[in-house]
Amino acid sequence: MANIDISVIVPFYNEEKNLEVLNEELVKVLSRLSINSEVIYVNDGSSDRSLEILQKEVEKDKKDNVQIKIVTFTKNFGQTAAVVAGIDNSRGELISFLDADLQNDPQDIPRFLDKMKEGYDAVFGWRKERKDATLRSLLSKIANRIISFVFSYPYHDVGCSARVVKKEYLKNLQLYGELHRIMPVLIYLKGAKIGEIVVKHRERYEGKSKYGFERIVKTLIDIITVKFLSSYGTRPAYVFGTFGLGSLFISGLALIGSAYKKLFLGVFVHKDPLFLIAIFFGLVGIQFIMMGLLAELQVRTYFESQNKPIYEVRNIEKY
Ligand code: UDP
Ligand code: MG
């Protein structure tokens, strides 16, 4: 079979009103490119007529240089799982992502590819003019600011699904929960060279967004998790140990204070809240240090049992 240059991954869940137009637009754009491409639709357990409609549309609109694959889940596993299934089933050297709701414009794909030619490992989209509700756009802006701050991440729009990435940067990405949402950050943390282009963003005309405001909490938790794993994933005892030693230090101070009060001011410990504080921080400190040691054991099991390296090599040159 011919080499596939680019795989476009489209996860969908109950998008019956969008898939026909989407496939039409997508196939049109891809067939005009002078490369071989494939579209991988991942049907994330849709309960409406999405699959049926897509199957018909795909049959109708066949092109030589555009292969189509539909992966159907047994039930709704969520967008992250759908994205991973897309990656697992892809054959392209480049992987592109697109939402099925028509908010991204397939016309942007050639522009992504042009930008990639400048020598990037990944190019991310930036929805400079967003067509979402004001509150949503605002919250997304705040999330982007937080991410920029926490990860020193210099790009504008983490939440934009439209992007093109070299496949090697998607291997071992370990997407759990709803981590697809901050996938660009994960790619950035792998040390990829990243470009950015402004993409078109359209309103969602048909169907509903699958997420509500609960995504804010999840995103915040994801940011904390990814920050922890990326900075201390191989040495958790540093984090726990710092808190532990800090607590023990506070405990020590409080203990000295309460000893001073007993010896010089005649305040007995049962009347001295400082003594309670010393006990509290003492216990917390020991707990933290113990947890850190347990975490170290786990990390070692994780890396050593699977022979995982703690680094990633871009390439090795021999002379
Ligand atoms: N999606 C999915 N599984 C889910 C939820 C969403 O495959 O459980 C798909 C959905 O059909 C769409 C894309 O993921 O193609 C983005 O979802 P949506 O447009 O609802 O998210 P938003 O743009 O509101 O963030
Ligand atoms: Mg959408």
Residue nearest to atom 19 of ligand 1 (CA): 209
Q: In the chain, count H helices and then E strands.
A: 9, 7
Q: Give pLDDT, residue 310.
A: 87
Give Rg (Cα) of the chain: 26
Which atom of ligand 1 is nearest to 42's Cα? 7
What pLDDT, on the 0 to 100 scale, is given for residue 69? 97
What gap in Å lies between CA 43 and CA 12, rounded to an integer? 5
- How much distance in Å is there from the Cα of 12 to the middle of ligand 1? 6
Ligand in closest contact with the CA of 159: 1
Contact in structure between 34 and 2 (CB atoms under 8 Å): no
Which residues face 125 on adjacent strands? 197
- Closest approach atom of ligand 1 to CA 99: 15
Q: What's the pLDDT score for residue 308?
A: 87
CA 21 – CA 57 distance, rounded (Å):
9
- Spatial CB neighbours of 250, under 8 Å, sequence gap ≥ 6: 277, 281, 285
Q: What are phi and psi of 234, to 5 degrees?
A: -100, -5
**Residues in the chain with pLDDT < 50?**
none
Q: Which pLDDT does position 1 carry in this prediction?
A: 61
pLDDT digit string (tens) for 108-147?
999 999 999 999 999 999 999 998 889 999 999 999 999 9
Q: Which residues make beta-bridge pairs with 68?
A: 39
Q: Are 121 and 33 in contact (CB under 8 A)?
A: no
Residue 279's pLDDT is: 97
- DSSP letter (8 states) at residue 201: B
How far, in Å, from the CA of 81 to the mean position of ligand 1? 12
The H or E element that residue 122 is part of is strand 122-126
DSSP label at residue 17: T
User: Does the beta carbon of 100 sit less than 6 angstroms from any atom of ligand 1?
Assistant: yes
For ligand 1, is residue 38 a contact (CB within 6 Å)?
Answer: no
Residue 145 alpha carbon to ligand 2 centre in Å: 21
Residue 182 — φ and ψ, nearest 5°?
-115, 30
Ligand nearest to the CA of 54: 1
Architecture per CATH, domain 6-232, reads as Alpha-Beta Complex (3.90)
Q: What are the tokens at 47?
A: 């309960």
Which ligand 1 atom is at minimum distance from the Cα of 208? 20
Q: Hey, how many other C-beta atoms are within 10 angstroms of the C-beta on 198?
A: 15
- The DSSP secondary structure of 161-195, one letter per residue, reads --EEEEGGGTTT----TTGGGGHHHHHHHTT--EE
Instruction: Evaluate: CB of 178 within 6 angstroms of ligand 1.
Output: no
Distance CA 188, CA 39 (A): 25
11 ligand 1 Cβ < 6 A:
yes
Contact assessment for residue 8 and residue 109, using Cβ atoms and an 8 Å cutoff: yes
Distance of alpha carbon 38 from alpha carbon 109, whole angstroms: 13
16 lines ligand 1 (CB under 6 A): no
